[in-house]
A and B are shown apart, each in its own frame.
Chain A
Amino acid sequence: MLREDDAPDHGHPHPHPHPRPHERRQPSGAGETVTIEQKVLAKNDLLAERNRTWMTDRGVVAVNMMSSPGAGKTTLLERAVTDLGGRRPVAVVEGDQETRLDADRIRRTGCAVVQVNTGAGCHLDAEMMRDALTALSPAEGSLLMVENVGNLVCPALFDLGERSKVVIISVTEGTDKPLKYPYMFAAADLILINKSDLLPYVDFDVEQCARHARSVNPDVRVLTVSATTGEGLSHWYDWLAEQR
Chain B
Amino acid sequence: MHELAITQSVVDSVCERAGGRPVRSVRVRVGVLTAVVPDSMRFCFGLVTEGTAAEGAQLEIDQPPGAGRCRTCAVAFTLTDLILLCPCGSADVEITSGQELQIVSMEVG
Point out residues on A near B: beta carbons under 8 Å.
Answer: 12-17, 20, 22, 25, 28, 30-44, 120-123, 125, 153-154, 156-158, 179, 182-183, 186, 214-216, 218
Contact = CB atoms under 8 A, between A and B. Distances in A.
A218 B84 contact: yes
Nearest to A25: B24
A106 B51 CA distance: 42
B53 A157 contact: no
Nearest to A212: B83
B106 A215 contact: no
B61 to A, nearest CB: 11
Interface of B: 1-2, 4-6, 9-10, 12-15, 17-18, 20-22, 24-25, 28, 34-36, 50-53, 55-56, 58, 81-85, 91-92, 101-109
Contact of A20 (B12, B22, B104): B22
A36 B83 contact: no
Given A38-B13, A42-B13, 6 more contacts: A33-B107, A37-B103, A41-B9, A123-B2, A156-B35, A158-B5
B5 A121 contact: yes
B25 A28 contact: yes
Contacts of B25: 28, 31
Contacts of B85: 215
Contacts of B22: 16-17, 20, 25
B18 to A, nearest CB: 8
Contact of A33 (B9, B83, B105): B105
Contact of A13 (B2, B6, B21, B51): B51
Nearest to A34: B106
Contacts, number: 123
A36 B13 contact: yes
A120 to B, nearest CB: 8
Nearest to B25: A28
B52 to A, nearest CB: 7
Contacts of B51: 12-14
Given A37-B102, A40-B101, A154-B5, A216 B83 contact: yes
Given A121-B5, A216-B84, A28 B24 contact: yes
Identify the 4 closest CB pairs spanning chains A and B, nearest first.
A154-B2, A182-B82, A16-B22, A31-B107
Nearest to A184: B35
A43 B8 CA distance: 11
Nearest to B107: A31
12 contacts: A12-B55, A14-B53, A16-B53, A25-B22, A32-B108, A34-B18, A41-B6, A121-B5, A123-B2, A153-B2, A158-B2, A182-B83
Given A28-B24, A28-B25, A182-B82, A43 B9 contact: yes
